[in-house]
Amino acid sequence: MKTTARRTFLHHLAGMSGIAAAPSLLALPGNLFAADYPSTLYPDPDNPDFYDETFWHQVKQAYTVSPALLNLNNGGVAPAPKVVQDALARYNDLCNETPSYYMWRILDQGREPIRAKLAQLAGCSAEEIAINRNTSEGLETIIFGLRLKKGDEVVLTKQDYPNMINAWKQREHRDGIVLKWLDFEFPIEDDQAIVDTFARAFTDKTKIVHITHVINWNGQVLPARAIADAAHARGIQVVVDAAHSFAQLDYAIPDLGADYFGTSLHKWLGAPIGSGMLYVKKEHISQLYPLMAAGDPESDDIRKFENLGTRSFAIEQAIGQAIDFHLMIGTARKSERLFYLKNYWANQLLELPEVSIGTSLKRKYSGAIGLLQIKDRTPQQLGEYLFSRHKIHSVPIVWENIAGLRVTPNVYTTLADLDRFIGAVRQFIAS
């Protein structure tokens, strides 16, 4: 890693131990956002800092994660860095001094700057971003707000997330829409094969295609833009479930061709638990009904989707510190590091004849998430062994045609942590 870049990062990181000393990272030069960051903060192909363990050990010090319990299930929900935790506590304390005053007259005024920061990170207009609580809320706002009628078709897959599958099934039950199911055998390293499978399901009755950008079960990355282009060519609108791709993969929302997009911010962005983001392309806002009733349900103002009543203003405001922390690492560097960590443990365990990996090891088709499979052993057996004997937390996956142990490191995960995991798996196989 370039010395100047690391010194700059560590200088900022050193001030992150307490929110009182550093109330906000907005003091970074020029309030820089992703598009404005100097190139020295991105991976240098001649000196790839994403495997500089000194740098990543420093990142780990910004977290309060347990040194005893090794968390390799960051795909479910990830811990926030301490600067975010401190901000959340400070904003929450402020709310409790005089709730109706500080919540509605003070912190409520901070939503627009947070919206602007999210939009800059996402590469879209702030007038297309709504702040909510998680991916499910964002996507269900879309699913239940779309103007679909009996006989309209929706294309989706059996490997999508259960909450979304159930939401679409409810619309099927309530409104008589038709769900057309695709069933993939992942991992797949062929964009065209994936796109063609979606395209073959499109008919003149298809109104929506639901794309899970990163399959949560095994980390497969789908070619969202190519699928979206095929859909748009038929006049079909595109819903993207980006729960596992936003702030993990390096892209802007418009790159995906999404008409509608939902994500959680408490996964890869490291924002407080219970924070999420909804994107609706400006031209569609007026035609999408809000999940929670608004004064004018056909308004073209994105804020109609934020009519949630009383909720945690502290959580919303602390999203700002999470964005700043994310930007200090840089999306590109973070994405490369996470991919590197997945391949680090996967390649070593693949040396064992009993092991297979249910995730592509190619950069185009995967990121942080990997699915570990061991011959003649169940995912539950492996997961229970790792936790009971080695205090390694991961998640057994059994869903449709996907089975294995999902292993998901994060930016605070070091190679020493993964060596501990690799050694434990070797012991399990030998036992």
**What local confidence, expressed as pLDDT, does residue 34 receive?**
34
Mean pLDDT of 131-157: 98
Q: How far is CA 308 from CA 238, 313, 373, in A?
A: 25, 11, 42
**What local confidence, expressed as pLDDT, does residue 22 receive?**
32
**What local confidence, expressed as pLDDT, does residue 102 receive?**
86
Task: Map out the domains of the chain with their CATH numbers.
Answer: 106-322 (3.40.640.10), 333-430 (3.90.1150.10)
Mean pLDDT for all residues in the chain = 90
Kindly report, residue by residue over 192-211, the tens digit of the pLDDT.
Answer: 999 999 999 999 999 999 99
Kindly report, residue by residue over 282-317, the tens digit of the pLDDT.
Answer: 999 999 999 999 999 999 999 999 998 888 999 999
User: Among residues 378, 379, 347, 374, which one has the least CA distance to residue 360?
Assistant: 347
What band does 28 get if pLDDT is binned at 50, 70 and 90? very low
Mean pLDDT of 270-293: 97
Q: At 40, which amino acid appears?
A: T
**What local confidence, expressed as pLDDT, does residue 25 receive?**
29
Mean pLDDT of 376-397: 98
More confident residue, 294 or 20: 294
Whether pLDDT at 241 is above 70: yes
Mean pLDDT of 331-358: 96
**What local confidence, expressed as pLDDT, does residue 16 receive?**
43
Mean pLDDT of 318-344: 96
User: Among residues 298, 290, 293, which one has the least CA distance to residue 142?
Assistant: 290
What band does 20 get if pLDDT is binned at 50, 70 and 90? very low
Q: In the 8-state DSSP scheme, what is residue 180?
A: E
Least confident of 6-15, 31-40, 114-123: 31-40
**What local confidence, expressed as pLDDT, does residue 309 receive?**
86
Mean pLDDT of 413-420: 97
**3-state SS assignment for residue 428:** helix
Question: Cα-flanking dihedrals φ and ψ of residue 73, to 5°?
Answer: -125, 50
Question: For residues 391 and 70, is the Cβ–Cβ distance under 8 A?
Answer: yes
Give, rounded to a whole angstrom, the gap between the first and last alpha carbons of the chain: 41
How far is 20 from 245, CA to CA, in rounded Å? 32
**What local confidence, expressed as pLDDT, does residue 48 receive?**
62
Whether pLDDT at 3 is above 70: no
Question: For residues 329 and 5, is the Cβ–Cβ distance under 8 A?
Answer: no
What band does 46 get if pLDDT is binned at 50, 70 and 90? low
Whether pLDDT at 4 is above 80: no
More confident residue, 75 or 151: 151
**What local confidence, expressed as pLDDT, does residue 107 receive?**
86
**3-state SS assignment for residue 388:** helix
Whether pLDDT at 47 is above 90: no
Q: Quote the percentage of the chain above a pLDDT of 70.
A: 89
Mean pLDDT of 240-268: 98
Residue with tokens 């690799």: 422
Kindly report, residue by residue over 122-140, the tens digit of the pLDDT.
Answer: 999 999 999 999 999 999 9
Q: In the 8-state DSSP scheme, what is residue 300?
A: S
**What local confidence, expressed as pLDDT, does residue 108 receive?**
84
How far is 280 from 132, CA to CA, in rounded Å? 13
